[in-house]
Amino acid sequence: LIAFFQPKPLKGKRVLITAGPTFEAIDPVRGITNLSSGKMGFAIARAAVEAGAEVHLIAGPCELPTPLLSSGKITRTNVTSAKVMHAAAIQSSDCDIFFAVAAVADWGIAKPSKEKIKRQGGKIPALDFVANPDILLDIASTVKTKAGKPHPYCVGFAAESSALAEHAAEKRKRKGIPMIVGNIGPDTFGSDFNQLLVIDAAGSKTLNKADKLQLARQLVQLVAKKI
């Protein structure tokens, strides 16, 4: 019901969202992932549909149901590795707004084994890593939209273990994006609640502790004003 009464500032806009963790395979039964639950990205997907947008949600492995599926305004692509998430996002990057909410693995396994790696009589296997592509950086720097704008309005996320404001501001500049959102800790991963630090060219603003859907709605309204 609340969705019905939300203002619709994103009517006619296309929104791309990456959410959740990625999974980097080591062998057919093992891999490396992270603690992202997907809840914040899925909440933003819901808030964007409520705001009138057409949403493409690209989700790493998480058990969450697709929000507002019956609206017909949301499509979901499930992916595993960062490489596959990157390919799906680039393919769908002709959009108005990109929320990069996924916790993307910075490195993948260089040569995942096709067979399960067995115990080797006490010998410990070594893993070689390769750098994964940076989805946000690539979309912010290279993608051109058909509407003639240089690229979608890109919103990055940052979760840090210290110096959130400094790290987030540095990331905003390094990635060449207009807005970055810091998760104010300590326990945002998996929680239904969060507190956000929103940084753009005009300065920074705290969105006080609330459940992730309320924060997502506030963030979507803020972004809608920028485009």
Residues that bind Ca ion in the complex, under the rule CB under 5 A: 106
What mask of x and - would describe binding to ligand CTP in positions 1 to 40, judged by CB under 6 A? -----------------x----------------------
Tokens of 211: 């459940």
Which residue, 104 or 220, is less far from Ca ion as judged by CB? 104
The reply on whether position 134 binds ligand CTP by CB under 6 A is yes
Among ligand CTP, Ca ion, none, residue 224 binds (CB under 5-8 Å by kind)? none
The reply on whether position 157 binds ligand CTP by CB under 6 A is yes
Q: Calculate the CA 144 to chain-centre distance.
A: 20
CB of 155 to ligand CTP, least distance (A): 8
Tokens of 174: 């390094």
- By C-alpha distance, which of 193, 207, 225 is closest to 37? 193
Among ligand CTP, Ca ion, none, residue 102 binds (CB under 5-8 Å by kind)? ligand CTP
E-strand spans in the chain?
Answer: 14-19, 24-27, 30-32, 54-59, 74-78, 97-100, 107-109, 129-131, 153-159, 179-183, 193-200, 203-211
Active site residue 132: no
The reply on whether position 156 binds ligand CTP by CB under 6 A is yes
Selected range binding ligand CTP among 43-51, 114-122, 134-142, 194-202, rule: CB under 6 A: 134-142
Distances (CA, A) of 190 to 14, 32, 63, 194, 212: 27, 17, 12, 10, 11
Find the binder of ligand CTP among 15, 51, 136, 196 (CB under 6 A).
136
The one catalytic residue among 34, 78, 194, 208: 34
The reply on whether position 211 binds ligand CTP by CB under 6 A is no
For residues 154 and 17, give the distance between their C-alpha atoms in angstroms, rounded to a whole number. 10
CB neighbours of 123 closer than 8 A, spacing ≥ 6?
none
For residues 181 and 164, give the distance between their C-alpha atoms in angstroms, rounded to a whole number. 10
- Residues contributing to the site for ligand CTP (CB under 6 A): 18, 82, 100, 102, 104, 106, 132, 134-136, 156-158, 171
Which amino acids are annotated catalytic? 34
